[in-house]
Amino acid sequence: MVIASLLSNPRRVFALIALVCAAMLAFGILYLQNVVGLDPCPMCIVQRYALIIVGVFCALAAFGKGAGSWRLWGLLAVAMSAFGAFTAARQSWLQWYPPEMATCGRDLYGMIESFPLQRAIPMIFKGGGDCSAVDWTFLGGSIANWSFVWFVIFALVILMALTRAGRAGR
């Protein structure tokens, strides 16, 4: 009943997802990075940017004027959630099957400054020793595993809200 009433108003869904994204970023940056002392690897940084963009798109959808506006921002948020889920899945795979030669790769900014973009982007997804390390777990899942789960949840919830609103003729 609560979920049905929430999904009946897409703007509430977008506002809630934007708040969840902000809370996840605060947890990752304020607690995991600054209190626990975990430094993000290149793939973690990509996931962080994807989460920021999903949150921004959902906030724009929540406050957008007209149905066309929030539908556009919602679809863009779904696309960015898919990209974030892909990155998190790739990192999870690297954690389950670490490369034989684990070396600590450069950080994202060092890669982009040192290499042309067409070489830096594949290097980010190739990962390195940092990306395959599991430094923190919750209920048996790594940060990358949980990122994947949340990106998929965001995409599915947004798609359900858009579908329900489309059937209701909004």
Name the more confident of 109 and 134: 134
Phi first, then psi: give them for residue 169, nearest 5 degrees.
80, 25
- Tens digit of pLDDT for each residue in 42-70? 778 888 889 999 999 999 988 888 778 78
Residue 110's pLDDT band (cuts 50, 70, 90): low
d(CA 39, CA 107): 10
Strand, coil or helix: what is 1? coil
d(CA 81, CA 7): 18
Question: Tokens standing for 32?
Answer: 């995991």
What pTM was estimated for this model as a whole? 0.74
Domain boundaries, the chain: 2-168
The reply to whether CATH 1.20.1550.10 applies to domain 2-168 is yes
* Residue 71: how many other CB atoms lie within 10 Å: 17
Residue 78 confidence (pLDDT): 93
